[in-house]
Amino acid sequence: MAHDTVGTVVSNHHVNALYKHIVITCPQTRIWGEPGQFYMLTCPPGPEDRPFFRRPMSLYANGRGPDTVEFLYKITGTGTRALATLKEGESIRLLGPLGHGFTLQPDWKHLVVVGRGVGLATLAPLVKAARANNLGVTAILSSRERHMSMSQHHFVDVGARLVEVNDDDGSSAPDNVMECIRAQIQAGQCDALFTCGSKRLLGIIQHLAREYSLPGQVALEQQMACGLGMCFSCVRAMCEGQKTIHRRVCWDGPVFDALEVQS
Ligand SMILES: Cc1cc2nc3c(=O)[nH]c(=O)nc-3n(C[C@H](O)[C@H](O)[C@H](O)COP(=O)(O)OP(=O)(O)OC[C@H]3O[C@@H](n4cnc5c(N)ncnc54)[C@H](O)[C@@H]3O)c2cc1C
Ligand code: FES
């Protein structure tokens, strides 16, 4: 059930130059969500920035108790700049959990998840849930620069096999990522494919899902105003057989069958 509530900032630390990790507690409220669900955060007004709409953020972790949620965010513009100014003990309004998250099938044995940049925030709780269900996980984490890769511990600590690729040494090139996943599939270590955000990674997942008739899921990122299905600002074109249909990412997603999404 979604709550529109006011929480208190427990911490809001830099992970590296571009990313911060915020922990928010909402006492007496079971604010926990499922992997792939998101929250709309009200970013505070600052001396220059006055963010109007709430900003969507995926649940990153919820391991500290049902009244506490964590987000990993990239400082990109007005809203996230304002979010970055919040200090321990300050208040923040949040609405969530919202949307439909990832689903795991009982007959799957091994997943491959592929993420880039802040997309890792969305995939980290999925990997944790999969490992808790005794599924093997290979996580391919892509980043621009080697030293900017983050969140590895979320994957390693729960026993996922980690493959890091980056733009610095060219290992994140689509052909290389594709071959990396293909090797997993051919070794019988991939019953389903998961990704988030990046158009390039979605293209790779779609290609391999078609080639090997594998299921795939993607968590989409779309600019949102309400997050509640009312404003239609997050509509995205999807395929239904030969037809093009339109879906609201906040209401029908943000997680979709990878082959439904027009890339
Ligand atoms: C379901 C969902 C989950 C998300 N989870 C996370 C998360 O866990 N961590 C995180 O850092 N970000 C996440 N995002 C993206 C995040 O919402 C945007 O980066 C944020 O709203 C930007 O707000 P801003 O005011 O700082 O930037 P703005 O000034 O609004 O925009 C700065 C730049 O970011 C782009 N942008 C704005 N909103 C989005 C968006 N929704 N998706 C992609 N690009 C956008 C703009 O086009 C512009 O180039 C998520 C988005 C969605 C829809
Ligand atoms: S953000 Fe308003 S309908 Fe999706």
pLDDT digits (tens, 9 = 90+) for 183-206: 999 999 999 999 997 889 999 999
For residue 200, CA distances in Å to 27, 121, 140, 196 come to: 40, 18, 14, 10
Residues near 150 by Cβ (< 8 Å), separated by ≥ 6? 15, 16, 19, 72, 120, 143
Q: Does 11 sit in the ligand 1 pocket, CB within 6 Å?
A: no
Q: What is the pLDDT of residues 17-34, one digit of tens each?
A: 889 999 999 988 899 999
- Name which residue sits closest to atom 11 of ligand 1, judged by CA: 73
Tell me: do 136 and 30 sit in the same domain.
Answer: no
pLDDT of residue 262: 87
CATH of the domain at 78: 2.40.30.10
| CA of 247 relative to ligand 2 center, distance in Å | 10
DSSP string, 107-140: T--EEEEEEETTHHHHHHHHHHHHHHTT-EEEEE
Atom of ligand 1 nearest to the CA of 75: 26
For ligand 2, whether the C-beta of 226 sits within 6 Å is yes
Ligand nearest to C-alpha 99: 1
Same domain, 128 and 65: no
Maximum distance among all Cα pairs of the chain, rounded to whole angstroms:
56
Residues 224 and 136 in one domain: yes
Preceding peptide of 97 cis, ω within 30°: yes
For residue 52, count other CB atoms closer than 10 A to its CB. 10
Q: CA 112, 244, 253 angle in degrees (round to 5)?
A: 45
Quick one: how far is CA 136 from the chain centroid?
19
Domain residue limits at 170 = 110-260
User: Which regions of the chain are under pLDDT 70?
Assistant: 146-150
Residue at a domain's end among 65, 98, 131: 98
Decide whether any atom of ligand 1 lies within 6 Å of the 121 Cβ: yes
Domain boundary among 60, 75, 98: 98
CATH of the domain at 206: 3.40.50.80
